[in-house]
Structure 1
């Protein structure tokens, strides 16, 4: 019967098999200390279970029982002639460790449950595309490439469904000092500014404004603050009417 004292933690966690549970419940009806300890452990488990509810790992019962065996002293097999206060204190101290042992085991199990029940995974993540990527990956993307010789190379991609266009450059020379490259939507002979290009040889820039109706896209050399209308002839014109 003395072995039954160390099953309070496992009983509180519903980790006993049918035979062990039946034997322990018979013991529990006669042991006030064990009833108090079971009540305390169930209260601790209830508080922890409010954080997450996950089935305990299969090995949890064995690890808890093994820890109980090492930490809690067994009740004496042979009646002592005169129990000393030291012996009572030791027994009480052993019993007092039980809530901490089971709480620690439950806390570990709660931590495992929290990891298992994360509401996200790599498969569920939604990739956030940049504005440029949305245009480049659009099903109706139209591409025009120009080799500007010593000035570099440039490619324009336009998506009518996205109503935007993107220009990508490679080894493009810088604009003259105090000047900047300005982008333009061209339609019916009219130029509409689409923003300034940063001074970098390799870049990808989303043009400013509506691109769906543009017949072409041009680049001119303008003052570094930009112009309302072109002040120079275009150094490059990307014809979108023949885009593939």
Structure 2
């Protein structure tokens, strides 16, 4: 009987691994038809093991080591059938399936953490962009506040001259501007609007013209012609009661004497 059990175990293992010849397969089918309850249990368990291994590697044939592992499992089960016919295989299957389940849980958890990490990184990038935009807005507001404070400081001076400037017909007919000048403090604030954007190799240059002699009052550039542009003039002291302010376009950094086209002009 033991030999029959060993033969059944051997053929059963080969059957689940698709490793039997035609004659061996016929022999196994004959033994299977006469199998007792313990042999049928062994057959079911070996089929389950082979099926789960095929799930893990569906594109590959079972390796020699896998076949040997199943053979050893089957032999162990057969040797212990007399005392623990169902406990040993059930224990093996439960451990194996638990390991497989744990592996899948680990994989899905890792994938979930990966997607969560990517989502968190995207949120952080979005927040960083928002913060950068807010910082830029704050800087613009601070600059605007500073310009207004400078304007108020000049307007609070005891004597202030306001010189209105108009655009030149042939270069900038829609342009306009003004100079708010604190003569005593030697400070002035220039406001211009509707001025063309300055090329990268050019600057606008402000001139104070007294007795026909132009005096440079600084250079500036216009980046946005759609809004008013303010520029602070630090040193502009004069006791002149008559004169004019003019703006020309000059090479980058300015020149000692005006050479370019005039864009704005205003008389005191």
TM-score (norm 1): 0.40
Structure label with greater radius of gyration: 2
Greater helix share, structure number: 2
